[in-house]
Amino acid sequence: MIDPRRLRVLQAVALHGTVTAAARALYLSPSAVSQQLSALEREVGLDLFERHGRNIRLTSSGTVLAGYAVQVSAILEQAEADLAASALGEVGTVSIAAFPSAIIEVVAPALRALRASAPHLRAHVTDAEGGVAQRLLAEGQVDVSVSVDYPEATVSTAQEFSHARLYSEPLDALVPSDSELAASTHLSLSRLAGEAWVTPLPGNPIHDLTLLACQQAGFQPRVESVSNDFRAVSALVGAGVGIALAPRSAVAAIDLPRVSVVPLRGRPPRRHVFVSVRRGTEGHPLVNAVLSELHDHARALEPRRRRSAARPPDHEDGSSA
């Protein structure tokens, strides 16, 4: 009989690639992880790993068993969810990882509503950018992840997670209020080709989205400054250091002195935000309550985004989209 606890260790090693990283994620010592892997190989009577320096790779047998480990994990998660659903007056904690503007615009309002509709629910929120939220979800450190797309997801994580689109929003241009660019009601990206730029750091989804949008417009942006904090980005734009692209909700609640927010012409680049949970947990009553409120408050963002995009007709940018 295969010990399901050892399957969890196998799953962690397959995800992280080293015994040390898997041990850190599981809060075990590396020797304990190695012992569990050796015991698992004895149980199945097959070699599951090949060592390559500090890394280990799954054999074909290990790959097969790792696939079943994902399924077993989902079944156990579903069992816990069903047990929780059958209990009355349940009290529990839901952990959520999300990036800052999603916390401000969606997560916090959803949790405020849940204080009335689910008073026994406690929430723990972690600020996590990019793929960090997905990794925390895979490691079992959080129950819900809110992240921008998930291009870094592997086949195993795609099988392990259940994803749903939460909301989508355009990127607007941030330009100095005293510049000629601020006089336009809309700007084309090609009009911004000669400007200095402020972007998030490489690895941040908005950094990648900005570079891709500029490349599609026919130029490589000249990045002069970087910051993952849109308050810092807007301050640099206001200081005349450069211009930037920012998701509409990311700047909606920021005081923007000396900065004008100008929508882009045509079909602007968009940030697509997803909510993810581990498969099998969707039916958990507390997780389900959080997901429902997140979707409700995400839908409420749309009319606010339309209002924030509306500007009186001054001067149109005459360049082509």
Domain range annotation of the chain: 4-83, 90-167+271-307, 168-270
- Topology classification of domain 90-167+271-307: D-Maltodextrin-Binding Protein; domain 2 (3.40.190)
Q: How confident is the model at residue 212 (pLDDT cuts 50, 70, 90)?
A: very high
Q: What count of other Cβ atoms lies within 10 Å of the Cβ of residue 169? A: 22
255: helix, coil or strand? coil
Higher pLDDT, residue 151 or 191: 191
The pLDDT assigned to 278 comes to 92
Q: How confident is the model at residue 321 (pLDDT cuts 50, 70, 90)?
A: very low
Q: What count of other Cβ atoms lies within 10 Å of the Cβ of residue 101? A: 22
| 168-270 to CATH, choices 3.40.50.150, 3.40.190.10, 1.10.579.10, 3.40.50.620 | 3.40.190.10
Q: Tell me how far apart the alpha carbons of residues 301 and 21 are, in angstroms, rounded to a whole number.
A: 39
Enter the CATH code of domain 4-83. 1.10.10.10
The pLDDT assigned to 199 comes to 96
The pLDDT assigned to 268 comes to 93
Token match 């001054």: residue? 314
Per-residue exposure over 26-51, b if at least 16 CB sit within 10 Å of its own CB, e if not:
bebeeeebbebbeebbeeeeeebbee
Closest CA to 276 of 170, 134, 154, 155: 134
Beta bridge partner(s), residue 173 = 245, 262
The pLDDT assigned to 251 comes to 85
Angle at 175 between CA 172 and CA 180, to 5 degrees: 120
Mention every residue, 6+ apart, whose C-beta is less than 8 A from residue 286. 84, 90, 92, 93, 94, 118, 121
pLDDT in tens, 269-307: 999 999 999 988 888 888 999 999 999 999 887 655 554
The pLDDT assigned to 306 comes to 56
The pLDDT assigned to 119 comes to 83
Mention every residue, 6+ apart, whose C-beta is less than 8 A from residue 167. 106, 273, 298, 299, 301, 302
184: helix, coil or strand? strand
Q: Tell me how far apart the alpha carbons of residues 97 and 118 are, in angstroms, rounded to a whole number.
A: 20
The pLDDT assigned to 314 comes to 36
Strands 161-176 and 259-262: antiparallel
CA torsion sign, 166 to 172 to 176 to 178?
negative
Judge if 90-167+271-307 and 168-270 fold alike in CATH terms: yes
